[in-house]
Chains A and B, each alone.
Chain A
């Protein structure tokens, strides 16, 4: 079942990136802790260090500068209000910030799309647990997501990455891959289960 075809450019870009500037996660965590105490100087400092990344997230997903500016405003208002819920160790500070930005941008675009979709409820993925042998092979692989993505067929890996990075909806993915909505959902859910098996 392993296909090692060339993965689409978006994926190769990503893999060559390696871990980006691990911009002193400790510093960011410290700033978030101070923001939780109402420290506005820390808030301004966090903004100057992280707003380009979070604006980049919003732009990539919303594809509109004015909307991305609005989203970034909302994101930092949330950061100010929710700083107390950040726990060092659960997630890196930057990952926590990007999650807030992605959620805000994705909620904004989903709000303009149908709130529900006529897909079959949760296509069955229960038959996908790999046999013990396959599991042993998989568990010797890297736990990093990119290593596991390479185990998927190229177009399915690219669909996972495009969904995450671009914030594509099931409808948009189905259109892009010219398959019915339910097929797209089954593909993606199966890809997710394979990824989870690979990373565990």
Chain B
């Protein structure tokens, strides 16, 4: 009995697995063996390292903007787990968002029936935590369906001169729909009532950098700098 490392059949099997030519049942068998036979697992690793030189053949193609938001929704939407200080804490930002809403109410900014809308059992607001790749900026968008407005907290960042930040609704496979420009200093973003009725739990929001005044074409033209999923909280 030769060891795995010297056995040509095992070497060929490890190579076939890494090439990907085997049918599914055989792929699972190979993976099961990798788990219990470290010499064989080493053969697979060697093939992976050697064949990875062929990876240059894969030309990069930028995925559509909704993909990252859907990944975040799957991984992070349900959990408000603090990760990475206050910026990572949905609880913190949600608290801040609601605190600012409450403060606004206390100062009589909203109309009289506001508190009535917020009594227990009423439709809960939808909240999205929008995260930023590679930087620590972020914002919370809280939708109050009764008012047809997003409360944006905080929008403590300013786009470059001559640029605007535009908020998009991303649903399933459909094209993103513009919700309007993010107010420069946070605050409320009032939406068209038809649009409000289309927004539901699980929809995704994204913020892109656009020319001043917003995208001239109706589709996002600049990089997406923030994204996150709406959920009932």
Stretch at the interface among B15-23, B108-116, B146-154, B193-201: B15-23
Q: Give per-residue flags for A41-75: 1 if the beta carbon is below 8 A from chain B beta carbons, else 0.
A: 10011011001110111011000001011001100
Tell me the bound Cα distance from A88 to B11 in angstroms. 24
Cα separation A145 to B24 with both chains bound (whole Å): 26
Q: CB-CB < 8 A to A144: which residues of B? A: 53
- Segment of B62-70, B94-102, B175-183, B210-218 in the binding face: B62-70
- Asked if A125 contacts B74 (CB within 8 A), the reply is no
* A113 lies within 8 A of B24 (CB): yes
Judged by a CB distance under 8 angstroms, whether B191 is at the interface is: no
Contact residues on B (Cβ < 8 Å of other chain), bracket: 35 or more
Looking at chain A's contact residues, is the secondary structure mostly helix, strand, loop, or mixed?
A: helix
Shortest beta-carbon distance from A103 to chain B in Å: 8
**Separation in Å of the A22 CB from the closest CB of chain B?**
11
Cβ contact within 8 Å between A72 and B67:
yes
Main secondary structure of the interface of B (DSSP, over half): helix
A40/B16 contact (C-beta < 8 A), A51-B67, A76-B71 known: no
Kindly provide the distance from the CB of B136 to the nearest chain A CB, expressed in whole angstroms: 7
**Using Cβ atoms and an 8 Å threshold, which residues of chain A touch B12?**
122, 125, 189, 192-193
Contact with A along B44-84 (1 / 0, CB 8 A): 01001111111111111111100110110011100000011
Interface membership of B133, Cβ < 8 A: yes
* Chain A residue contacts of B58, Cβ below 8 A: 53, 56-57, 60, 98, 165
A67 to chain B, nearest CB (A): 12
Contacts of A164 in B (CB 8 A): 18-20, 51, 54
Q: Which of B22, B55, B60, B71 contacts A77 (CB 8 A)?
A: B71
- Interface range for A: 35 or more
Q: Which residues of A contact B63 (CB under 8 A)?
A: 51-52, 55, 68-69, 72
Residue A152 lies at the interface, judged by CB distance under 8 Å to chain B? no
Task: Kindly provide the distance from the CB of B30 to the nearest chain A CB, expressed in whole angstroms.
Answer: 11
A-side contacts of B56, CB under 8 Å: 14, 17-20
Min CB–CB distance A14 → chain B (angstroms):
5
CB distance from A74 to the nearest CB of B (A): 9
Residues of B within 8 A of A125 (CB): 8-9, 12
The yes or no answer to B132 lying at the interface (CB within 8 A) is yes
A156 within 8 A of B: no
A193 cross-chain contacts in B, Cβ below 8 A:
8, 11-12
Output the nearest chain B residue to A145 by Cβ-Cβ distance: B53
Closest to B173 in A: A66
Cβ contacts under 8 Å, A77 to chain B? 71, 74-75
A192 to B51, CA, bound (A): 11
A13-B57, A115-B24, A117-B26 given; 15 more Cβ-contact pairs under 8 Å: A17-B57, A41-B88, A41-B134, A69-B63, A90-B45, A98-B52, A106-B27, A110-B23, A146-B54, A163-B19, A163-B21, A164-B19, A170-B23, A173-B21, A189-B15
Q: What are 12 contact pairs spanning A and B, CB under 8 A?
A: A41-B133, A44-B132, A47-B68, A55-B60, A77-B74, A122-B9, A129-B8, A161-B54, A163-B20, A192-B15, A193-B12, A196-B11
Name B residues whose Cβ lies closer than 8 Å to a Cβ of A: 8-9, 11-13, 15-16, 18-27, 45, 48-64, 67-68, 70-71, 74-76, 83-84, 88, 131-136, 173
